[in-house]
A and B are shown apart, each in its own frame.
Chain A
Amino acid sequence: MTEASLRSTSSFVTRLVLKNRFSYATANRFTGVEYRFVIAYAGDFNYRGELPLEAMSSCAFSASTLRETLQNHEPISRKPSVFRKNCISVDVSHLKLTWHNAMTWKQTGSRLKCRALDVENNRAFLKGELFQLDDVIEAQQFDREILSAIFEVAREMETIEKKSRGNQILKGYLMATLFYEPSTRTRLSFESAMKRLGGEVLTTENAREFSSAAKGETLEDTIRTVEGYSDIIVMRHFESGAARRAASTANIPVINAGDGPGQHPTQALLDVYTIEREIGKLDGIKVGLVGDLANGRTVRSLAYLLAKYNDVKIYFVSPEVVKMKDDIKEYLTSKGIKWEESADLMEVASKCDVVYQTRIQRERFGERVDLYDEARGKYIVNHDVLSVMQKHAVVMHPLPRLDEITVEVDEDPRAAYFRQAKNGLFIRMALLKLLLLGW
């Protein structure tokens, strides 16, 4: 398959591949080396019946291997990564199908296409390897490969959480939540994550009022003391950059649970994870960011992460006074991500796959309370907005919400914000496991 043709079809394949992919592992029986593959099929999606294996043998993958793996395999993950050139496959569409069910699908009529997916073998995310990052400080640390790998782990965490009581992978580990600013939701989420995995928690929400802080102890000294008492630190601080300072001082992993107006990486991760879970893909989506875009750290991190994917379009919907700042806009343009500013929420909502609503803070408007009231009115997500949204689209919100999403929206299955919060638990469980134990 020539490279030119590969490129021209690759975007088509990538889109399919992201949506419907099974990966499986096989091991060389003589050397014990494991190989992971992804099965992707580019063809028509009407199937029930039998897989025509003879057609597959014309592809670079040997028919006998495919037959074996189809029989023996269990879907392990949907990792979009990395496997050798010349390895392709058959994309099976319905994710819920196990391989046994999949054997009974047939292809109606047309073409069976084989595509060679051209990526290199990457052993970095295989079981047993160390996590690539020492700390989680900002969204900028993540690229799409590591993101998908983390999402796989979060997916596994979902099943752990359901079975709950009994998972002990972090037994014996201590997490210290060092919060200089109150935050019930994030703190409880981290603490739950740690305890669900069998670990223990040392917690404080009033670190600012501590006698040591009041006496003027530096952050660095506090970190050096606390790291002696725990295995991992989760910190929220009111100053931007505090997390980086903590991470450079500490010898144990540090997770940034929000530092001032700067970064809140776990929120960004859980937002992207939620989009992937709800929509099924991250390439080729349209996202509407609504509300306070100038000051909201969540939308800024989200825009940053979305730029890592292909064919994404972002709509910025906000009052003039809190428009998205230019730095993010320039960054998006430089990455080839299309964005558009609009004042019309209804129009944007009808086009988007995700409507990400955020709270407009009254304080930002100063004395212009009239402008504030007007703004609030225009950008409320209510039943009318829901009615123009597409069937598969979702509404997200980092919470807490006041009235920018009306309560009537909660019943609609497209209201994803509480599921989003739950995903926060899984992402945080995944990060704790990765930082403390590795892949």
Chain B
Amino acid sequence: MKSGTWRFLVSFIPLLIYLLYILYSDFSSPKPTTSGCSLLPHQHYWIVSKRIVTPHEIISGAVEINGGSIISLVKEKDWLEKVKNEPVIDYGEAVVMPGLIDVHAHLDDPGRAEWEGFPSGTMAAAAGGITTLIDMPLNSFPSTVSEETLQLKIEAAKGSIFVNVGFWGGLVPENAFNASVLENLLNAGVLGLKSFMCPSGINDFPMTDASHIKEGISVLAKYKRPLLVHAEKVQEIELKDGDDDPRSYSTYLKTRPSSWEEAAIRELLTVSKDTRIGGPAEGAHLHIVHLSDSSSSLELIKEAKSNGDSITVETCPHYLAFTAEDIPDGDTRFKCSPPIRDAPNRQKLWEALMDGDIDMLSSDHSPSVPELKLFTEGDFLRAWGGISSLQFVLPVTWSYGLKYGVTLEKLVSWWSEKPAKLASQDLKGAIEIGKHADIVVWEPEKEFDLDENHTVHLKHPSISAYMGSRLTGRVVATFVNGNLVFEDGKHTPDACGTTILA
């Protein structure tokens, strides 16, 4: 080769080196991922706050997240040294808590998606700090009572959920004595079963009694999963004829007294003793949903617990926030079952919750289309019963709990730790090394009005009983599996929540 050509070629070497350098630095520096699943372009980052609620104490420090899991926790003075090149998000005084786990929500998808649906329901959940929802088997159509109907639900959820969603299966007379159907349903991945001891209001979800429940828990014992029970049993009520105004809440309240709850729980306790250690259904667990009666029903439950029955009980924020006396005439947004009861009952519910006799909280988000609520007639007896609240449960619990002495640790216990245990989600419910990075960041001191200026992501905000109230506690950001799904009123463009199957 001629020396001139050789020199010409050599002169390109610096250019080559420069190009190689660019390529090299491109590979080594953390490439921001531009995926629609997270508002944050990072997989590995730190969250810093002066108030991080861990299982043992509230620390000021930093949480390190990588690949959707929490990989370390450092306290105040150390965190500056530990952070190397990773991005840091400092939330200052806002509280960093484990994301809420709502074990009782009706997302009505598929089949009645016009009532709510996975997209709007999970967007509202994310805006409310809820990172995991467990969807009830009914109000969707068909009800989730078999493997096939579960598959339909899982299909509908694909690509439409912004937070993680698990599923409860349904225990109904058709499948109660059919162990193979139940086993297929459980094998297909439901986290447990739900049954009603009174009419559910949905045609393909009939009610069960103690004999069905006994069968159900003997199957559940093998899988070590819980049975959730709507504990109200229709009792004969003396209806005083004549001028009971259907627009008055007390009319409705009289049709569903606390004796219904007490009778159902009494019947339930005849089978719950099988769940004791050494009993035939050992390993199964009973969970009474939305307890409203805090007198005799609660006493029965406490006694069963002390006898060693494997039983827990939840209540909902609407029983803790509202009282029968304050419900205006014709305002059917407040109708639900079991019904919201009087002020002394509410007081006892709070006391039981603070004492630990009531184990956890759930939303029982039970929406419908506004027409079914019969707003114009205001007829409590015929309107659809169900409180819509999914986006607000955190500020509602906090606002109404302040005067009872609610603390951040208690909130975490009611909304994250205990629900995680019920749903057998060992890797959720706490900010601890190794657990999933499902986190809510919120400002407990910020007050806001729930009016038309506040964006509500539920499909039908008008049916929510909380509209128009002033609440304390604003959600700043929500992380699901390490993805920043909601911040400052904006959601991610894509719905990347995962379905949770057992």
Give residues in A with beta carbon < 8 Å to B: 26, 28-33, 35, 37, 60-62, 64-65, 84, 86-87, 121
* Contacts of B324-338 to chain A: CB distance below 8 A: none
* Contacts of B294-319 to chain A: CB distance below 8 A: 305, 308, 310-312
Whether the pair A30, B282 counts as a contact (CB closer than 8 A) is no
B421 at the interface (CB under 8 A from A): yes
Of the residues A30, A32, A84, contact of B278 by C-beta under 8 Å:
A84
Whether the pair B308, A30 counts as a contact (CB closer than 8 A) is no
Contacts of B224 on A, CB cut-off 8 Å? 29
Whether the pair B277, A30 counts as a contact (CB closer than 8 A) is no
Q: List 6 A-B contacts (CB under 8 A).
A: A29-B224, A62-B283, A64-B283, A84-B276, A84-B308, A86-B279
Q: How far is the CA of A29 from the CA of B305 in the complex (A)?
A: 14
Whether the pair A60, B312 counts as a contact (CB closer than 8 A) is no
Q: How far is the CA of A30 from the CA of B311 in the complex (A)?
A: 8
B482 at the interface (CB under 8 A from A): no
Contacts of B310 on A, CB cut-off 8 Å? 28, 30-31
Whether the pair A31, B424 counts as a contact (CB closer than 8 A) is no
Q: How far is the CA of A35 from the CA of B285 in the complex (A)?
A: 16
Of the residues B278, B287, B305, B311, contact of A61 by C-beta under 8 Å:
B278
Q: Most chain-A Cβ atoms within 10 A of its Cβ — which of B224, B226, B283, B311?
A: B283
Whether the pair A31, B305 counts as a contact (CB closer than 8 A) is yes
Whether the pair A30, B305 counts as a contact (CB closer than 8 A) is no
B192 — nearest CB in chain A belongs to which residue?
A30
Q: How far is the CA of A84 from the CA of B312 in the complex (A)?
A: 20
Whether the pair B276, A30 counts as a contact (CB closer than 8 A) is no
B458 at the interface (CB under 8 A from A): no
Q: How far is the CA of A32 from the CA of B308 in the complex (A)?
A: 11
Whether the pair B277, A87 counts as a contact (CB closer than 8 A) is yes
Encode B235-254 as 1/0 by CB contact (under 8 A) with A: 00000000000000000000
Of the residues B277, B359, B424, contact of A84 by C-beta under 8 Å:
B277
By the criterion of a CB under 8 Å from any partner CB, how many residues of chain B are at the interface? Answer: 20
Within the complex, what minimum Cβ distance (angstroms) separates B7 from chain A?
Answer: 74
Given A30-B422, A31-B305, A31-B310, the answer on whether A65 and B277 have CB atoms closer than 8 Å is yes
Whether the pair B312, A31 counts as a contact (CB closer than 8 A) is yes
Whether the pair A87, B278 counts as a contact (CB closer than 8 A) is yes
Within the complex, what minimum Cβ distance (angstroms) separates A414 from chain B?
Answer: 42
Encode B385-402 as 1/0 by CB contact (under 8 A) with A: 000000000000000000
* Contacts of B240-295 to chain A: CB distance below 8 A: 276-280, 282-283, 285, 287
Whether the pair A60, B305 counts as a contact (CB closer than 8 A) is no
Of the residues B279, B280, B312, contact of A30 by C-beta under 8 Å:
B312
Contacts of A65 on B, CB cut-off 8 Å? 277, 282-283
The 10 closest A-B CB pairs, nearest first, are A86-B278, A30-B285, A87-B278, A62-B282, A28-B310, A35-B277, A60-B278, A30-B421, A61-B278, A31-B312
Q: How far is the CA of A28 from the CA of B226 in the complex (A)?
A: 12
Give residues in B with beta carbon < 8 Å to A: 224, 226, 276-280, 282-283, 285, 287, 305, 308, 310-312, 359, 421-422, 424
Q: How far is the CA of A60 from the CA of B422 in the complex (A)?
A: 27
Q: How many A-B contacts at CB < 8 Å in the complex?
A: 46
Q: How far is the CA of A32 from the CA of B310 in the complex (A)?
A: 10
What's the dominant secondary structure at chain A's contact region? loop
Whether the pair A62, B305 counts as a contact (CB closer than 8 A) is no
Within the complex, what minimum Cβ distance (angstroms) separates B183 from chain A?
Answer: 16
Within the complex, what minimum Cβ distance (angstroms) separates B220 from chain A?
Answer: 11
Q: How far is the CA of A28 from the CA of B424 in the complex (A)?
A: 12
Q: How far is the CA of A61 from the CA of B424 in the complex (A)?
A: 24
Contacts of A87 on B, CB cut-off 8 Å? 277-278
Within the complex, what minimum Cβ distance (angstroms) separates B313 from chain A?
Answer: 10
B286 — nearest CB in chain A belongs to which residue?
A30
Whether the pair A26, B277 counts as a contact (CB closer than 8 A) is yes
Contacts of B277 on A, CB cut-off 8 Å? 26, 28, 35, 37, 65, 84, 87
Within the complex, what minimum Cβ distance (angstroms) separates A26 from chain B?
Answer: 7
Whether the pair B278, A29 counts as a contact (CB closer than 8 A) is no
Contacts of A37 on B, CB cut-off 8 Å? 277
Contacts of A121 on B, CB cut-off 8 Å? 308
Within the complex, what minimum Cβ distance (angstroms) separates B276 from chain A?
Answer: 7
Q: How far is the CA of A73 from the CA of B297 in the complex (A)?
A: 37
Within the complex, what minimum Cβ distance (angstroms) separates B260 from chain A?
Answer: 25
Contacts of B312 on A, CB cut-off 8 Å? 30-31
Given A84-B276, A84-B308, the answer on whether A32 and B282 have CB atoms closer than 8 Å is no
Q: How far is the CA of A60 from the CA of B279 in the complex (A)?
A: 8
Of the residues B283, B287, B421, B424, contact of A32 by C-beta under 8 Å:
B421
Contacts of A64 on B, CB cut-off 8 Å? 283
B285 — nearest CB in chain A belongs to which residue?
A30
Contacts of A86 on B, CB cut-off 8 Å? 278-279
Q: How far is the CA of A334 from the CA of B230 in the complex (A)?
A: 57
Within the complex, what minimum Cβ distance (angstroms) separates B83 from chain A?
Answer: 33
Within the complex, what minimum Cβ distance (angstroms) separates A242 from chain B?
Answer: 42
Contacts of B283 on A, CB cut-off 8 Å? 62, 64-65
Within the complex, what minimum Cβ distance (angstroms) separates A175 from chain B?
Answer: 29
Contacts of A84 on B, CB cut-off 8 Å? 276-278, 308
- Starting from the known contacts A28-B277, A64-B283, A65-B283, 5 additional A-B residue pairs (CB-CB under 8 Å) come to A29-B421, A29-B424, A31-B285, A31-B359, A35-B277
Within the complex, what minimum Cβ distance (angstroms) separates B408 from chain A?
Answer: 20
Within the complex, what minimum Cβ distance (angstroms) separates A435 from chain B?
Answer: 26
Q: Most chain-A Cβ atoms within 10 A of its Cβ — which of B224, B277, B312?
A: B277
Within the complex, what minimum Cβ distance (angstroms) separates B9 from chain A?
Answer: 71
Contacts of A62 on B, CB cut-off 8 Å? 278, 280, 282-283
Contacts of A32 on B, CB cut-off 8 Å? 421
B426 — nearest CB in chain A belongs to which residue?
A29
Q: How far is the CA of A28 from the CA of B308 in the complex (A)?
A: 10
A64 — nearest CB in chain B belongs to which residue?
B283
Within the complex, what minimum Cβ distance (angstroms) separates B391 from chain A?
Answer: 28
Q: How far is the CA of A64 from the CA of B277 in the complex (A)?
A: 12
Within the complex, what minimum Cβ distance (angstroms) separates B186 from chain A?
Answer: 16
Q: Most chain-B Cβ atoms within 10 A of its Cβ — which of A26, A28, A37, A62?
A: A28
Within the complex, what minimum Cβ distance (angstroms) separates A24 from chain B?
Answer: 12
Q: How far is the CA of A35 from the CA of B278 in the complex (A)?
A: 11
Q: Most chain-A Cβ atoms within 10 A of its Cβ — which of B278, B283, B421?
A: B278
A86 — nearest CB in chain B belongs to which residue?
B278
Within the complex, what minimum Cβ distance (angstroms) separates A100 from chain B?
Answer: 24
Q: How far is the CA of A363 from the CA of B311 in the complex (A)?
A: 68
Q: How far is the CA of A87 from the CA of B277 in the complex (A)?
A: 8
B424 — nearest CB in chain A belongs to which residue?
A29
Contacts of B278 on A, CB cut-off 8 Å? 60-62, 84, 86-87
